[in-house]
Amino acid sequence: MHVHVHVRLASEEVIIQLLKQKCLPILLYALEVCNLDKRSLQSLDFTVNRFFIKLFKTSNIEIVHYCQNMSGLQLPSVLLGSRYQKFLSDVPCDVYS
């Protein structure tokens, strides 16, 4: 017989901060130099959305997006879009000369 006990030791706010400070940097490490296709970005977003679905025990994507917005979390596709543009602007123009 298996008994599953779910004990939450930290609040949602603390868990989201850990996601933002520890997990997302690992997930996105060095991807700002890659021009990812739409499917890859959607896959990264899916990972974060599933995290919120499990954290808030909901399958309603509108609630998930609301919680992400209220917590100040940006999806990986948004973060990587701005980081990729910054990377391109930091690359010297004469790199290929």
Is 14 in contact with 31 (CB distance < 8 Å)?
no
Show the DSSP H helices in 1-97 as ranges: 12-18, 24-27, 38-55, 61-71, 76-90
- Give me the chain's average pLDDT, please: 87
Range(s) of the domain holding residue 64: 12-90
Q: Is residue 4 part of a domain?
A: no
**Confidence check: pLDDT of 9 > 80:** no
**How long, in residues, is the chain?**
97
Q: Is residue 7 part of a domain?
A: no
The stretch 8-37 carries a mean pLDDT of 89
Q: Is residue 85 part of a domain?
A: yes
Quote the CA–CA distance of 72 and 59 in Å, as a whole number: 20
Q: Is residue 68 part of a domain?
A: yes
Q: Is residue 30 part of a domain?
A: yes
Q: pTM for the complete prediction?
A: 0.77
CB atoms within 10 A of CB 76: 23
Q: Is residue 96 part of a domain?
A: no
How many distinct structural domains can be found in the chain? 1
Q: Is residue 84 part of a domain?
A: yes
Q: Is residue 3 part of a domain?
A: no
pLDDT tens figures, 24-38: 999 999 888 888 999
